[in-house]
Amino acid sequence: MEKRRVVITGLGIISPVGSGTQKFWKALLAGQSGIGPITRFDASQFDCRIAGEVKDFNPLDHFSTKEARNLAPFVQYAAVTSDEAIKHAKLDLKNIDLHRFGILIGSGIGSIETLEHEYQKYLEKGPSKISPHFIPKIIINEAAGQVSIRTGARGPSTCITTACSTATNAIGDAFRFIQYGDADIMIAGGTESATTVLGIGGFCALKALTKNNDHPEKASRPFDLNRDGFIMAEGAGVAVLESLEHAKMRHAPILAEMVGYGRTSDAYHITAPESTGAGAAKAMELAIHDAGFAPKDISYINAHGTSTKLNDMVETLAIKTVFKDLAKKIPVSSTKSMTGHLLGAAGGVEFAACVCAIQENIVPPTMNYETFDPDCDLDYVPNAARKIQVTAAMSNSLGFGGHNASIIVKKFHE
């Protein structure tokens, strides 16, 4: 069976640096930070007191009061970004086969906020006060389910959770669904809202978060010698993927073509990446092979780049394993230096950054890169966006549990 070509026709973004794809992209190119003091709760007792909160989202702009009360924030984010992506793709839901239209949206954690709230109600008032909406609000598949309900999509509707690789795996798996004929159109990506007491507290307990609380906008510094941990963030990133035939049939705007997907497991540790980066390297190699490319064909890499000591070193090693002598010539940047780490949604917003880079031939910077680390010696596009010819871009994601995923998009040509 010959695999079908898959194109990207729409994007939707909610992020700490701005909601809406254009606002998000302009902020990245300008090097703007979305990191600031935590406002959702009193974080004064926590080692990390900063996060990438979404600042320009009001649920009542998109939902009724009842809907806003009964839908968890991560589900709301998925619904609103899907609305944007559908509009961006000029997709008329009345004129497509809804049985060939699917949803694949994941989350790393789901609604930890709801767990906290309902457990507190139980402690204070007993089990009779637990909300009947409790379970629907916390289960991760409700993001895809709600988007399916709102759009009428009756094709594959599913979710995935692979920690910080979630959105990349979701986009990659949706790509496969279309390639092999299970759907003509998919909305795919990730969503997250876990900047809560237990979310922040849990990652603090793992010693994974930065303690650079006095300078929030400078705290996320991927690949810099003085990095000391990542910054929790929230939001969502989704894309409309479509078979080329279907997109052409409806005269859709084609932003880029998706061509490669690779995923592996380290089979090593519950949180740490394997120290040689072999698993991450294999995922990149599989994506390159899947695209029918050679390493020299990649113009830009959007790195996982979390700003943790081990992750940044291991990803650098993996890139050098795959690209060898070319590794130091390929621009590599981490947009987490501005957005923070959106966990299960990270791969979605970073995929969007790759698509925008291809469209405009400019790559976003790694901000706060000030001090060279001998273990991180690639071209990280420090502190300023760079105009280059971007013919193909790779996005990497590495998740707790050893999940590695890489996807490749390229300029669209007939």
Positions marked active-site: 164, 304, 341
User: How many other C-beta atoms are found inside a 10 Å radius of the C-beta of residue 186?
Assistant: 32
- Between 166-179 and 346-360, two packed helices, what is the crossing angle to 10 degrees? 60
Instruction: Name the burial class of residue 125, with classes exposed (0-12), middle (13-18) and buried (19+) by CB atoms within 10 angstroms of its CB.
Output: exposed
Place of tokens 């709230």: 117
Residue 115: phi and psi, rounded to 5, are -60, -45
Antiparallel, parallel or unpaired: β 36-37 and 50-51: antiparallel
Question: At a CB cut-off of 8 Å and minimum separation 6, what does 51 contact?
Answer: 35, 36, 38, 195, 200, 231, 232, 233, 234, 340
CA atoms within 13 A on the CB side of 357: 35
Q: Are the CB atoms for 321 and 328 separated by under 8 Å?
A: no
Task: Dig out the tokens for 282 from the structure.
Answer: 């294999």
Longest alpha-carbon distance in the chain: 64
3-state helix, strand, coil in the chain (%, to 5): 40, 20, 40
Q: Are the CB atoms for 104 and 96 separated by under 8 Å?
A: no
Residue 153: phi and psi, rounded to 5, are -65, 125
Closest CA to 78 of 99, 100, 57, 93: 57
